[in-house]
């Protein structure tokens, strides 16, 4: 998704959130936020990068074999924030044993 598409989606979902903000300024904020997140993930060795309201990014270094040579490669896994019930507890996805 491009920053312009993200801005459009935000404006459609909640038009009032962008009241009084010029489109160019809103795009600059989105681009700066995404660039900061990318730099933070790139600089992370291993562990978790938590972004409030978005979720957790888990960074791992794994060893891969490419053309017979072992290479270290960074893997980033995204785990979104879980929606919460009215009482504030996180909803857990339940998997029925009969479905597996």
Query: What is the per-residue DSSP string for 12-81?
Result: HH-GGGGTT--HHHHHHHHHHHHHHHHHHHHH--SEEEEETTTEEEEEEEEEEEETTEEEEEEEEEEEEP
Q: Which percentage of the chain shows pLDDT scores above 70?
A: 84
The reported pLDDT for the residue numbered 90 is 58
**34-72, pLDDT tens digit by residue?**
999 999 999 998 999 999 989 999 999 999 988 999 999
The whole-angstrom separation of Cα 12 and Cα 27 is 15
pTM for this model (two decimals): 0.70
């Amino acid at each position: 998704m491009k920053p312009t598409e993200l801005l459009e989606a935000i404006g459609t979902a909640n038009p009032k959130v962008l009241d009084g903000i010029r489109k160019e300024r809103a795009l600059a904020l989105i681009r700066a936020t995404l660039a900061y997140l990318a730099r933070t993930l790139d600089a992370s060795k291993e562990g978790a990068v938590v972004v409030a309201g978005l979720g957790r990014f888990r960074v791992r270094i794994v060893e891969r074999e490419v053309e017979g040579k072992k290479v270290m490669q960074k893997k980033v896994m995204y785990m979104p924030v879980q929606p919460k019930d009215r009482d504030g507890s996180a909803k857990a996805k339940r998997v029925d044993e009969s479905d597996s």
